[in-house]
Amino acid sequence: MERKIKSSSIPLANFDPQIVVKLHKNVETEAANWFIDKLQMDRKFGGGNLIVKSVINEKKEKTMLYLSAAPDKLLLGAELFDLKKKYNDGYYRDFNIDDLENFQGAEDISSFFTNTEKIKIIYRYLCALRAQQSDTHIPGYPNAKLYPGKSLLRKFKSAGIIEHVYPLHDVEKLKFLKTSWDWKSFFRQLPMDDIRAYFGEKLALYFSFLIVYTYALIAPAIIGIIYLITSWNNIYREAIFAVFNLIWTTIFLEFWKRFCSELTFKWGTLNEVVETEEPRPSFHGVLGTNPVTGHPEPVYPKWKRQLRFYGVTVPVILLCLLIAFEAMLLYFQMQDWANLLYEKDPSYLNYANMMCFPSIVYAVAVTIMNTLYNILIKKLNDYENHRLQSSYENHLIVKMVSFNFVNCFMSLFYMGFYLQDVTLLRSDLVALLITQQVIGQLQESALPFLILKFWTKKVDKDAGKGEKWEEEGLPQELIQQAYDEASLEKYLGTLDDYLELFLQFGYVFLFSSVYPLAAFWALLNNIFELRIDSFKMCCVFRRPFPLSASSIGAWQMMFELMGKIAVMTNCIIIGLNPQVQKLVPGHQTPVQLVVIVVILEHIILAARSFLTYLIPDLPRWIEIEVYKERYEAKKALEKVKIQNAMKRKHEQQATS
């Protein structure tokens, strides 16, 4: 029987594909056609409002679906999904079809939406596809059961029907970004507006944060180098440098909040409302109604999610922490063994081999445990079935940070506060920081480079085979582009990138009085990180779906919390220093020493709080613009209401 996959009948001249759905090999034709019918069906009947063109290879085994949407459906989706567009007064507003003529660029509907905005709308349509009351299973797959409210996209993936879903690259814009990001333009400022326009606000904010953080490392790095050159090695240096860093982190984080506000205001996402967020494609439950929007969507009881969290996730996290603790104890046993060997042969070479070896091995083990834990915790977070993407990410961030923080810094706390061995603490800190950065750079530079080389050879080899496609009239270069991009790696988001910076931030500032050069190594790493991350986004990964964002989310709170913990750790380390204790008049009891450390800590925390108060999160000019925007939006809404009322009045007069 001939394999025939459906396609929309729209003329190719009007077809502008934005998203590709690649099906697995030898998918049942009945299932593919049923899915295409769902994609093309009107939304009021449970469909996706999309245009679909199917492409199948000559052997009838590989199928790719090209998705687009008609201009009227794009307009409808922009309003339905609260897309922000620039109004004639220069401010961003939630799009409204009735007010179309007052939005910039509305005179030409064909170019009204950018490539990225089209992708956002089409993907939201795709994610909103849900099984209806009459849908019991996927045709051709009787075991793939459906129930009302089930995400069709998620079910088709889990049933092994859909292999990849990804937006197509815009070749010309990608070429421009590659030129702006390449190593030849190493010292050129990154084009943040272009990055945002192509990859979305969320990824652009990550690169912006990385840039600001890298600049913030310059001052402590220079001071650390000066201390190294001058060999000024006493408690005054440690105390001054620690206090400087603790104040500097506050200035950096406050400056970032202001800069982030400026960026998101310019991009129209400053006051984005989370309540309008659609459920995640992976969210499942009984089909119900959203009490806010009135739209049909799955409903899942909160108590079930909490039961999964406390009954499964928490015990697993505690078990992982126990394993990390056992690994730390094993490390100290290795260190004791190395100390014994060093006592037998106290040569410099033996010191380098025996004393550094346990720290390096432990640093590698910590990195491996972090990687395995992050994979496991993502699966557990999926299992908890969070409704919103923002909630999903916030819970995932807390889980990832909790373990990674303990795993990375537990041994440092033990050496600094219990053993009070500053030499061993410094050695372990250097090993953890540098080893993890070296491993990270190898993973993010050498591995992507090898993947790209392998992928290029694979593409050349496949091209040599001359595989033919029944392209329904689509340009051959477009088909080949989609097929090539399907072979690239999927970008998993910014969580791991932020986590890497968060841990680095801890290594630099938690024990800054112990190792002043930590900021220099972090600065050097981040300079390369900027270009390596850009290389990955343009060459190694498939284009990610653009996501809006008004801030870096929970990571802001995590960095601020790390800054406060750094105050306590540095004050304790300085207070435990014998030189400091000698400076205090009289013989102080341990209790009195604790009181002195606590007072010092509170003074620094008070200084940080005062700086936070002095530096408002929002610049004054943005506050004024926000009030203006609200005022103009209110006037515009009143104008639209009057126009609609006049229109209805004229219609009534015409019919009477």
pLDDT of the residue at 1: 43
Instruction: Out of 105, 136, 168, pick the residue that ends a domain.
Output: 168
Give yes or no: residues 526 and 572 share one domain.
yes
For the segment 402-418, the average pLDDT, to the nearest whole number, is: 91
Q: How many independent structural domains does the chain possess? A: 3
AA letter at 350: N
pLDDT at 242 over 60: yes
Give yes or no: residues 127 and 210 share one domain.
no
CA-based nearest residue to 126, from 84, 169, 159, 157 = 157
CA-based nearest residue to 130, from 49, 47, 50, 73 = 47
Side-chain half-sphere exposure of 337, counting CA atoms within 13 A: 10
Tell whether 537 is covered by a domain. Answer: yes
Tell whether 201 is covered by a domain. Answer: yes
Give yes or no: residues 42 and 131 share one domain.
yes
Tell me how crowded residue 501 is: count the other CB atoms within 10 A of its CB: 21
Give yes or no: residues 461 and 549 share one domain.
yes
Give yes or no: residues 221 and 139 share one domain.
no
Q: Which of 86-90, 141-145, 201-205 has the highest mean pLDDT?
A: 201-205
Give yes or no: residues 598 and 651 share one domain.
no
Give yes or no: residues 149 and 25 share one domain.
yes
Q: What is the pLDDT of residues 462-487, one digit of tens each?
A: 544 555 555 556 788 888 888 888 88
CA-based nearest residue to 416, from 568, 561, 560 = 568
For the segment 402-424, the average pLDDT, to the nearest whole number, is: 89
pLDDT at 184 over 70: no
pLDDT of the residue at 66: 92
Burial of 523 (0-12, 13-18, 19+ CB in 10 A): buried
Tell whether 260 is covered by a domain. Answer: yes
Give yes or no: residues 27 and 64 share one domain.
yes
pLDDT of the residue at 471: 56
For the segment 368-395, the average pLDDT, to the nearest whole number, is: 89
For the segment 617-641, the average pLDDT, to the nearest whole number, is: 77
Q: Which of 16-25, 209-218, 358-367 has the highest mean pLDDT?
A: 209-218
pLDDT of the residue at 577: 73
Give yes or no: residues 518 and 630 share one domain.
no
pLDDT of the residue at 360: 84
Tell whether 72 is covered by a domain. Answer: yes
pLDDT at 11 over 70: no
Paired with 644 in beta bridges are none
CA-based nearest residue to 141, from 237, 277, 34, 47 = 34
Give yes or no: residues 100 and 26 share one domain.
yes
Q: How far apart are CA 482 and CA 19, in angstroms?
A: 9
Give yes or no: residues 150 and 245 share one domain.
no
pLDDT band at 105 (very low <50, low <70, confident <90, very high): confident
Give yes or no: residues 487 and 555 share one domain.
yes
Q: Which helix (DSSP H) or strand (DSSP E) does residue 627 occupy?
A: helix 620-655
How would you classify the pairing of strands 286-289 and 162-167? unpaired
pLDDT of the residue at 275: 46
Task: Average the pLDDT over each of 221-225, 232-236, 567-571 and give the range with the smallest value.
Answer: 232-236
pLDDT of the residue at 580: 65
Tell whether 441 is covered by a domain. Answer: no
pLDDT band at 145 (very low <50, low <70, confident <90, very high): confident
Tell whether 331 is covered by a domain. Answer: no
Tell whether 410 is covered by a domain. Answer: no
Q: How far apart are CA 135 and CA 126, in angstroms?
A: 17
For the segment 604-620, the average pLDDT, to the nearest whole number, is: 84
pLDDT of the residue at 642: 76
Q: What is the pLDDT of residues 494-511, one digit of tens each?
A: 999 999 999 999 999 998
CA-based nearest residue to 509, from 301, 243, 290 = 243
Query: Helix, strand, or coil here: 551?
Result: coil
Domain residue limits at 295: 192-300+452-612
AA letter at 297: E
Tell whether 308 is covered by a domain. Answer: no
Query: Helix, strand, or coil here: 470?
Result: strand
CA-based nearest residue to 540, from 400, 616, 446, 622 = 446
